[in-house]
Amino acid sequence: MKRFDESQSIKRILEWIQCKLSFTLPTISKNLVGIDSHLKGKIETIFLDMPRAKEAQWSMKAFSKMTKLRLLKIHNVDVSEGPEYLSNELRFLEWHAYPSKSLPVCFQPDELVELYMSCSSIEQLWCGRKNLESIPSSISGLKSLKKLDVSDCSELKNIPENLGKVESLEEFDASGTSIRQPPPSFFLLKNLKVLSFNGCKRLVVNLTDQVLPSLSGMCSLEKLDLRACNLGEGAVPEDIGFLSSLRSLNLSKNNFVSLPRSINQLSRLEKLALKDCVMLESLPEVPLKVQKVKLDGCLRLNEIPDPIKLNSMERSEFKCLNCWELYKHNGQNNMGLSMLEKYLQGSLPRPGFGIVVPGNDVPDWFNHQSKESSIRVQIPRNDWMGFAACVAFSAYGKSPLFCQIKVDGKESYPSPMYIGCNSMQVVSDHLWLFYLSFDYLKDLKEQKNEAFNNLELLFHSYERGVKVKNCGVLTNNSFLRVNDMDWPVGNKFHGTDLESVLNFLKKIRGERNEHDIDFEFDVTPLVKS
């Protein structure tokens, strides 16, 4: 039986029950009627529709034995708590003013056809995957609903028109559904903070101009995930720049060629993901607060924002894994390394940067070197702002290469830092070069005035295929010192060691080829136990 036919059958059954109850003697209907315990396992229908609200002293444990219950309607019955169990055989569930914040944890309503929970205290329906084909329009009566998760309900195709009336809704996850066109009212949910249509490949934008509905009404939205939604050129609306609260935007695995310039107006945006957008050719300027831009797999990308903007960014990591066209378009003047140069030429102190390039020997200007996978150095005493490090390694696996940082060899150091360099595939030896200031080493910064003497770097991986050949650290004061907290005119570095760094970067530009793999750079503190 199709769900539509089953719904009509349920409606006729309920009408028949209502008709029968209307002929019940008043003396019976006004009194409580008990149920013999041996009959509870045979009950298939409970219908309590009181003319006026009435308080009832019920034991919710009675539902635990009603394993065959298929129809349940409770209206105008005031109970203090919800049931701990509901039958998974339920086809119809209507419970006006349901008292609990969620349905029973063990409730798996795979057979549910209709759901009505008006005036309820419910905040979350249930957990796990459900084979829902539609969300009942009565959901608009859930005035306290904050989170609605219908992810992986692959048969779900529509969102009720009145879902936009659930003003309390803060999170809506429709990942992996078959939703085609959300109603315009949905995009007016002013309190919505998290929205995901990840993997909704059938998502249809406006049939007239092929643009998503206006997003400007979602003034509280902080996270928007539209991965793999088959969005073509022009599908992302220009008014996306009005999402003033947006912090994370994921548009990966779509088919647009360019993005609206208004993205630059997202003043709070911290993360922008565009991975595997194989048609993307250019990237507009990004907001200055952006910390991570993921461009891995953008095969046609040939233009990114002016790297001079990096001088103004507080901390930013551009990840361009397998962006071959970007390298070809810029010829020998590799864009990635140009960005690094601009980053170095910005005013200090800077939090940090990292880059991985082909090579097998640590440059001589790293004044402390080791043939092992670890190195220990003395810490300079005069205005030390951070350090640069380099490690030569070979890798035949996908495990990250980590760097653990210790002070004075103490295993119990409260928060050692780990730096992840995540590779997809490496076909030759590489050099990992990075700089860290005290802005990253927060725990070290707090102890800066304490009498610690040495710093130890330990490089390791979880796979045997990743092997460290040698490593080096640069602590030369002419590179890292601060002179009276004032930097040279024009925010330019001067000094023999830095010039060596820049010359080295310029030299290795010509050594990259189409087989070279770029890497991700990340700095993450170890979670304290």
Do residues 38 and 109 share a domain? yes
Neighbours of 403 (CB within 10 A): 25
In a domain, 43, yes or no: yes
Give, in order, the Cα–Cα distances in Å from 322 to each of 333, 355, 360, 398, 525.
17, 14, 21, 15, 27
Do residues 341 and 437 share a domain? no
**Spatial separation of the C-alpha atoms in residues 104 and 64, rounded to whole Å:** 11
In a domain, 283, yes or no: yes
Scan for tokens 């944890």, then name that residue.
105
The per-residue pLDDT for 316 is: 61
Last residue of a domain, one of 323, 346, 369: 346
Do residues 478 and 382 share a domain? yes
Beta strands in 171-235 (DSSP E): 171-173, 194-196, 223-225
Do residues 447 and 338 share a domain? no
Do residues 373 and 480 share a domain? yes
Backbone angles phi, psi at 26, to 5 degrees: -55, -35
Do residues 464 and 378 share a domain? yes
In a domain, 236, yes or no: yes
Do residues 305 and 383 share a domain? no
Last residue of a domain, one of 73, 99, 127: 127
- Helices and strands per DSSP (H, E), number in the chain: 7, 22
Do residues 330 and 357 share a domain? no
Do residues 233 and 334 share a domain? yes
Largest CA distance in the chain: 101
Nearest to 283 by CA among 246, 256, 310: 256
Give, in order, the Cα–Cα distances in Å from 60 to each of 79, 93, 104, 168, 464.
9, 16, 11, 28, 57
Do residues 223 and 262 share a domain? yes
Is residue 43 within 8 A of residue 65, CB to CB? The reply is no
Last residue of a domain, one of 85, 112, 127: 127
In a domain, 141, yes or no: no
Do residues 340 and 363 share a domain? no
**Spatial separation of the C-alpha atoms in residues 110 and 178, rounded to whole Å:** 18
Domain limits at 399?
353-525
Residue by residue, what is the 3-state secondary structure of 72-95?
A: EEEEEEECCCCCCCCCCCCCEEEE
Task: Enumerate residues 6+ apart whose C-beta is below 8 A from 15.
Answer: none
Is residue 318 within 8 A of residue 295, CB to CB? The reply is yes
The per-residue pLDDT for 485 is: 28
From the centroid of its chain, how far is CA 228?
Answer: 14
Q: What is the pTM of this model?
A: 0.62
Task: Enumerate residues 6+ apart whose C-beta is below 8 A from 502.
Answer: 341, 344
In a domain, 429, yes or no: yes
**Spatial separation of the C-alpha atoms in residues 8 and 235, rounded to whole Å:** 39
Neighbours of 206 (CB within 10 A): 14
Neighbours of 100 (CB within 10 A): 18
Which amino acid does the sequence have at 107? Answer: F
The per-residue pLDDT for 2 is: 45
Contacts by 510-516, CB closer than 8 A, 24 or more apart: 510/332, 511/357, 511/358, 511/359, 512/327, 512/334, 512/357, 512/358, 514/324, 514/327, 515/427, 515/428, 516/357, 516/358, 516/427, 516/428
Block means of pLDDT (10 residues each) for the chain, 529 residues, are 55 61 46 48 79 70 85 85 88 86 82 76 65 75 81 85 90 90 88 95 60 86 95 91 96 95 93 93 86 80 65 60 61 47 55 61 82 87 71 72 78 43 54 69 56 79 83 65 30 36 46 38 38
Helices of type H across 52-189: none
In a domain, 209, yes or no: yes
> Is the bond preceding residue 349 a cis peptide, omega within 30 degrees?
yes
Q: pLDDT (tens digit, 9 = 90+) per residue, 367-402? A: 899 999 999 988 776 666 677 788 888 766 666 778
Q: pLDDT (tens digit, 9 = 90+) per residue, 136-177? A: 777 877 777 888 888 888 888 888 888 988 899 999 999 998
The per-residue pLDDT for 28 is: 40
**Spatial separation of the C-alpha atoms in residues 511 and 334, rounded to whole Å:** 10
**Spatial separation of the C-alpha atoms in residues 267 and 288, rounded to whole Å:** 8
Phi-psi region for residue 160, left (φ > 0), alpha (ψ -120 to 50) or beta? beta
The per-residue pLDDT for 253 is: 94
Is residue 459 within 8 A of residue 468, CB to CB? The reply is yes
Do residues 392 and 319 share a domain? no
In a domain, 321, yes or no: yes
Quote the number of domains for the chain: 3
**Spatial separation of the C-alpha atoms in residues 418 and 401, rounded to whole Å:** 9
In a domain, 192, yes or no: no
The per-residue pLDDT for 126 is: 65
CATH number at residue 227: 3.80.10.10
Scan for tokens 């030429």, then name that residue.
345
CATH number at residue 423: 2.60.120
